[in-house]
Amino acid sequence: MNRLENLYRKIIMDHYKNPRNKGLTDDTRYKQEHIKNPSCGDDVTIQSFVEDGVVKDIRHDGSGCSICCSSASVLSVLLKDRPVKEALAFSENYTKMIANQPYDETLEFEDALAYQGVRKFPARTKCATIAWKAFESTVKVEDNDE
């Protein structure tokens, strides 16, 4: 394992062991989406609260592999307090990055860059993206109201 891969692995394990923004809320202003990945046993729920076109808060809960659970934590940190459009741009480009397609490298992905390594393991790409897919659907519901 080279130094960069080692760093990425540390970031993933840190978010797995010490997840940020974990735990769901009963607040009905939050939109919720639940997605399962049967091939790996991943089960993730994302809640987001959007106000004035800005993602004010993201909560998550679930169980599964380290890649899936940690990515929910990473996105909750990265996308919080961003305008919905910007958060969706991050999500779209993250999905491209994982799929090994050209993506907007000017976006500051911070800890989310750690998942680049998943590209080498196509069977795990779903693990790295389901939390993001769930997030997208929680904010797209809000979009339809415009």
Residues contributing to the site for Zn ion (CB under 5 A): 40, 42, 65, 68, 127
CB of 94 to Zn ion, least distance (A): 16
CB of 123 to Zn ion, least distance (A): 9
* Closer residue to Zn ion, CB minimum distance, 69 or 84: 69
* Closer residue to Zn ion, CB minimum distance, 35 or 139: 35
* Closer residue to Zn ion, CB minimum distance, 42 or 136: 42
CB of 20 to Zn ion, least distance (A): 19
DSSP per-residue codes, 42-87: EEEEEEEEEETTEEEEEEEEEE--HHHHHHHHHHHHHHTTSBHHHH
DSSP per-residue codes, 14-49: HHHHS-TTBS----TTSEEEEEEETTTTEEEEEEEE
